[in-house]
Chains A and B, each alone.
Chain A
Amino acid sequence: GENVEQHPSTLSVQEGDSAVIKCTYSDSASNYFPWYKQELGKRPQLIIDIRSNVGEKKDQRIAVTLNKTAKHFSLHITETQPEDSAVYFCAASFMDSNYQLIWGAGTKLIIKP
């Protein structure tokens, strides 16, 4: 069945350094890949998304890259700040599942002062 794998499950980086979270997906027909951020006790919120006709998208300190051949996409956060500490979820839409979003298990990002 459709699957999204997310790595690592926990990532600890020094404040100011970069963080990279990677997701792989199983369905080559997937065409939409969002990333959500969930701070402790709060709701998940979309931070960036990418569609299959684009290889990279940037929004200030956040970027997402997509490699359709390898079926993986990554979230890049540069110049990390304490407020970046949260759980990050990737997801991919699957045509065969009526475009349902299948979610990764999440990455807990810890920013060390």
Chain B
Amino acid sequence: DGGITQSPKYLFRKEGQNVTLSCEQNLNHDAMYWYRQDPGQGLRLIYYSQIVNDFQKGDIAEGYSVSREKKESFPLTVTSAQKNPTAFYLCASSIGWVTNTEAFFGQGTRLTVV
């Protein structure tokens, strides 16, 4: 069953802690993305990766970090430097980047700072 999987679905973090959100895809897609979704706003790009071992900052990268050691995996770490981390995080993948193809999204992770 092909798709893109995010875990966990819900995550609670204490202030000052780093947390890592998992994103795995078995679609053999080259490009992967992390978005943040806040109420009443569109999707804002945090980081994206066009190929293994390469990634670029999106519009709101401050306080976040990523890695792309494997084609299937693109984990996002929310660091203590992110001042307002409570949000819904969506991971996505697509066949390529420049070809502007459909993006497939994971189910999302809702992060709450307590």
Which A residues are within 8 Å of any B CB, using their own CB?
4, 6, 9, 31-32, 34, 42-46, 49, 51, 89, 91, 93, 98-101, 103-106
Of chain A, the residue at the smallest CB distance from B3 is A43
Which residues of chain A come closer than 8 Å to B44, judged between CB atoms? 103
Which residues of chain A come closer than 8 Å to B45, judged between CB atoms? 100-101
Flag if B42 contacts A103 (CB, 8 Å).
yes
Of chain A, the residue at the smallest CB distance from B40 is A105
Flag if A105 contacts B100 (CB, 8 Å).
no
Flag if A43 contacts B42 (CB, 8 Å).
no
Knowing A42-B107, A100-B45, say if A34 contacts B102 (CB, 8 Å): yes
Cross-chain pairs A/B with CB under 8 angstroms, 17 sampled: A34-B103, A43-B105, A43-B106, A43-B107, A43-B108, A44-B90, A46-B103, A93-B100, A98-B56, A98-B97, A99-B100, A100-B45, A100-B48, A101-B45, A103-B43, A103-B44, A105-B40
Which one of B40, B58, B100, B105 contacts A44 once the chains associate, using CB atoms below 8 Å?
A: B105
Q: Tell me how many residue pairs across A and B have CB atoms closer than 8 Å.
A: 46
Determine the distance from Cα of A45 to Cα of B100 in the docked complex, in whole angstroms: 15
Interface of B is mostly: loop
Instruction: Indicate if B98 sits at the interface (CB-CB under 8 A).
Output: yes
Flag if A99 contacts B102 (CB, 8 Å).
no
State which residues 55-84 of B face A: CB under 8 Å.
Answer: 56, 58
Determine the distance from Cα of A61 to Cα of B100 in the docked complex, in whole angstroms: 24
Knowing that A6-B42, A44-B43, A101-B103 are A-B contacts, what are 9 other residue pairs whose CB atoms are under 8 Å apart, sorted by A's residue number? Answer: A4-B42, A34-B103, A43-B90, A43-B105, A44-B105, A45-B105, A51-B100, A100-B58, A103-B43
